Amino acid sequence: MQFQIIWHYQPPKGKSCSFTSEWLEANAALLLAADLERTGRVKEIQFVDEQQQSWTLKEAKKLLKEVETEPHDIIAYFDGGYNKTEKLAGLGIVVYYKKNGKHFRIRQNELLQEITSNNEAEYVAFLYVVDQLELLGAHHLKVVFRGDSQVVLNQLSGEWPCFEDQFNRYLDRIEEKLQKLGISPIYEAISRKQNQEADQLATQALQGIDISSHAER
């Protein structure tokens, strides 16, 4: 979680003025705020989170404690494999996150029928990982989504237009679900090699190998 600090400075003489910091990790922002308060010249301090909500110092401390008990610092990998002959999709997802000071990993796959293309398989895989985030209880935070499908990620980010009605329906469903959960997505296209873990899970799904694990790492 990150904050921007807005502090209103009161000099010994003259008018007060305001300053806005860069984005800072939450703990670093709280330490900086405490240091600023020790100057005795801080009229007011506000913390602005990534959802553009404003918090007092007391509220920010309470919020950070609550965040530590919920899934955060989430990185989600997805991949969709496709068997054209049988019109099957293998979905593979990997989710890394923190909770209560510990690190966790989810690895999961699924086999779906009646899929018409590789791009559709990738869209379904993305929806699958978002559904898993909802089950995890992730909400109102930033999530990094990584995959090797530039089409899906660039269309989701709005960098590329989408002309197919079928895929526009997937885009609408994904955007609606992310908005419902209050998730601010960061889309990162990576190579197939960098996405190897999710790719392997998708391949195993097509081979009829079910994987479902959720463990501390």
CATH assignment of the domain containing 139: 3.30.420.10
Give the whole-angstrom CA distance, residue 57 versus residue 114: 53
Q: Which of 12, 35, 68 finishes a domain? A: 68
Question: Can you tell me the mean pLDDT for 29-40?
Answer: 86
Which of 6-20, 44-58, 159-173 has maximum average pLDDT? 159-173
The parent domain of residue 166 ranges over: 72-216
pTM: 0.80
Give the whole-angstrom CA distance, residue 68 versus residue 53: 18
Question: What are the structure tokens assigned to 59, written together?
Answer: 């509220």
As a whole number, the mean pLDDT across the chain is 92
Q: Are residues 50 and 96 in the same domain?
A: no
Q: Are residues 100 and 131 in the same domain?
A: yes
Q: Are residues 89 and 57 in the same domain?
A: no
Q: Which of 10, 43, 68 finishes a domain? A: 68
pLDDT tens-digit readout, 40-58: 778 889 999 877 889 888 8
Residue pair 148/109 in contact (Cβ under 8 Å)? The answer is: no
Strand partners, 42: 9
Closest CA to 46 of 37, 57, 36: 57
Question: What are the structure tokens assigned to 132, written together?
Answer: 């898993």
In the chain, what is the straight-line distance between the N-terminal and C-terminal CA atoms, in Å?
21
Q: Are residues 80 and 94 in the same domain?
A: yes
Q: Are residues 179 and 197 in the same domain?
A: yes
Q: Are residues 76 and 12 in the same domain?
A: no
| Cβ neighbours of 191 (radius 10 Å) | 8
Q: Are residues 24 and 78 in the same domain?
A: no
Q: Are residues 14 and 105 in the same domain?
A: no
Q: Are residues 83 and 158 in the same domain?
A: yes
Pairing outcome for strands 72-83 and 141-147: parallel
